Amino acid sequence: MSEQQQKLIDLIADMNEEEAIKLANSMLDSGYDPMKLLEHCRAGMDVVGKRFESGEYFLPELMLAGEMLTEISKKAKPLIQESQTGGAASTKGTVIIGTVHGDLHDIGKNIVTFMLDINGYKVIDLGIDVPVDTFIDSIKEHKPSVVGLSGFLTLAFDSMKETIEAIKAAGLRDDIKIMIGGGQVDDTIRDYTGADAFGLNAMSAVSLCSGWIKAAA
């Protein structure tokens, strides 16, 4: 690994937003392979994730890292499309995610979306206060392997239950795994809503997906 690559990874891992973006831009400007660059970003993000899990980082770092990478991919992604027409980056699988209806909390969901994305999943984010029908339509359209429901209000657990029941009623339940997260979720809540699993943070969302999708493959 070149010094420059390592430097980018370190800058991202150390939350040095300005320097990281500057370096990424200059690398891209001098013709660096955008795919490879994003790969380094992912490596940097892995470090961020590990530091989060060890307690060194907290939520602001995850959020900021998210912004940093969004900024870098804004420049890198169009270059990828230029260089490899049609060569859509292979994804590990599709995940649909959204904050259930009645709930508007999205910080947690955004971090989950971002971590899944950086780990190679195609994520369709339906946003906040998502009506049951929007989930159903989106599942029909995108045929995801996993659906993630987020909600922070105690009363959102009822919305989760409703959403999962509707997915079942639409005959779509058997083809997908459903995970829930946000707020005070635990196994009792998981059981109440009828989900397959619950996750306490974005890392667990990633490992849940990789567990399921590997098992299916």
Place of tokens 């206060």: 129
Distance CA 50, CA 196 (A): 25
Report how many helices (DSSP H) and strands (DSSP E) the chain contains, helices first.
9, 5
Q: Is 155 in the site for another protein (CB under 8 A)?
A: yes
Which residue number, 120 or 183, has a Cβ lying nearer to another protein?
A: 183
Based on the shown chain and the rule CB under 8 A, indicate whether residue 186 belongs to the binding site for another protein: yes
> Of 156 and 203, which CB lies nearer to another protein in the complex structure?
156
CA–CA separation, 146 vs 78, rounded Å? 27
Residue 61 binding: pick among another protein, ligand B12, none (C-beta 5-8 Å cut-off by kind) = another protein
Out of another protein, ligand B12, none, which partner does residue 172 contact, by CB within 5 to 8 A per kind? none
Question: Which one of another protein, ligand B12, none is in contact with 15 (Cβ closer than 5 to 8 A by kind)?
Answer: another protein
Q: Report CA-CA distances (Å) from 105 to 30, 48, 109.
A: 40, 23, 8
3-state SS assignment for residue 43: helix
> In this chain, which stretch among 53-61, 80-88, 169-177, 193-201 interacts with another protein, using CB under 8 A?
53-61
Instruction: Please report whether residue 56 would count as binding another protein according to CB under 8 A.
Output: yes
**Closer residue to another protein, CB minimum distance, 101 or 173:** 101
Complex with another protein: residue 108 or 148, whichever CB lies closer:
108
In degrees, rounded to 5, the angle at the alpha carbon of residue 57 between the alpha carbons of residues 125 and 62 is: 20
